[in-house]
Amino acid sequence: MSTTWPWPDNPGYVSLVTCTFMSITWRWSKRRSTIGYRLICLGALARLPPSRIQRSGNVSNSAHVMINMRYPMAGLLVFSFAGFAVAAESATFEVASVRPAAPEEAGWGGMTKVNGGLGTSDPEQIAYTNISLLNIFLRAYDVNTYQVSGPAWFDAPDARYDIVARIPPGATKEQFKAMLQNLLAERFRLTLHHESKEFQVYELVVGKNGLKLKETTMAAPSATAPALTPGVPPKLDQNGFPQLDRPGMMTLNTADGKAHLTAKAQPISMLVNLLGIMLHSPVADKTGLQGKYDFMLEYAPDGGLGQDDSLPNFATAVQEQLGLKLDRKKAPLDFLVIDRVERVPTEN
C-alpha cells in the first residue's frame, strides 16, 4: 500500500514540511537518531486527517486509528518530545578550551580543582584544573566508577586536562550534563554503548538495636564567619578527631593506621555517597531519615567490607558505631562501555 501526502492547502502540510526540514537538518549534522526520526515523522502523520493517509505496511491499523482518530493531539506531544531530543543533543557550551594539564600539575602530586559552575557565584563559567577524563565522564553521565568500562589511562595521573567553558545563561543541570557529553564526543571523539549488568547492591537501613545518630543543633554559619584557611590543619579533640565549627565533613588519617571522621549537620545522603565509594557498589538509602546529623567514626583506612582487622573497615564502623545496617542484594544496573576515546583532544 502507499501513503498519499496532503496538498499545500491541507493543515497537515505544515507538519510535513517541518518533518522534512528537521530530517534534512539531522542528516546534515550527522547526528540523526533513528528513534527520534521516527517520532518526528509520526508527529507529522498525526496532524493529517485520516482521509489524507492510506494505511501503509509500515504503520499498523491500530496505530493509525489511535493516532488519527482517538488522540488527535498525540502528534503534537510526540513531535514536542522529538524536538526536545534534538535540543538536548545539540546542547553545547558557548566557548570551550581544552588543553592537557601542565607537567607540573599532572602526576600524583597534582590536585584537581573545580571553580565556578551552576549553583556557584559564577554560574556561567566552569573551570576544571588537572582533571581526568574519567572525572568529567562521571559528571557528564551521572554514574559511578563501577558502572564504567574504559581504557587504563582514563584516570591515569599523567593524563589530566585543564578545561574552561562558558555556560549559556539559564542552563539547567540536565542541559549542563548534555554539554559535557557533547564536549567529550567532539573534542575526544568519545563513543560508547550501554549494557545491563548485575551488581552487588546494598540498602542502608536502621539496625535492630536502634539508631545511634543524633540530630544536629548546629546552625548554618553566618555571613561574617571567618573563612577556612586552606592548608591549615584542623584542631583535634582528645581522641584525635577533627573539630568542626560549621557544617561539613572531615577525615584525618593518622600515622598509627587509624582514620577519624567527623561530620557536622550532614544529611544521610552524604553517608550513603561515602559508602558507595568505599564499597565500589550502589547503596540505596532506606533509612527514612530526613534530618541532618552529627557523628564520628573510627575505622581502618582503605578497608573492604568483611575484612578482619583490629579496627573495623568503614562499612562495618557505620553499622557498629552509628546503629545502621547494610543489606546485600543483587540488581541489574546500567553499564557504560567506552568504545572509543582519544587521549589527545582536538585543537581549540
pLDDT, tens digit, for every residue of 8-66?
A: 343 333 333 333 333 333 333 333 333 333 333 333 333 334 333 333 333 333 333 33
Mean pLDDT is highest, among 61-70, 72-81, 304-313, for: 304-313
**Of 128 and 280, more confident:** 128
pLDDT at 74 over 60: no
**Comparing 10-14, 153-157, 193-197, which segment has the lowest mean pLDDT?**
10-14
Instruction: State the pTM of this model.
Output: 0.57
pLDDT band for position 223 (50/70/90)? low
pLDDT at 163 over 90: yes
Mean pLDDT estimate for the chain: 74
pLDDT at 157 over 50: yes
pLDDT digits (tens, 9 = 90+) for 133-153: 999 999 999 998 889 999 999
For residue 218, the model assigns a pLDDT of: 82
C-alpha to C-alpha distance for 299 and 37, rounded to whole angstroms: 54
For residue 12, the model assigns a pLDDT of: 38
Alpha carbon 231 to chain centroid, angstroms: 30
For residue 58, the model assigns a pLDDT of: 39
pLDDT at 172 over 50: yes
Q: How far is CA 339 from CA 191, 192, 342, 345, in A?
A: 6, 5, 11, 16
Sign of the Cα torsion 52, 58, 61, 64 reads: negative
For residue 227, the model assigns a pLDDT of: 58
The helix or strand, by DSSP H or E, that contains position 270, with its residue range, turns out to be helix 268-279
pLDDT band for position 348 (50/70/90)? confident
For residue 323, the model assigns a pLDDT of: 94
**DSSP state, residue 155:** G
Please list the residues that pair with 294 across neighbouring strands.
214
Helix axis angle, 74-89 to 173-188, nearest 10°:
50
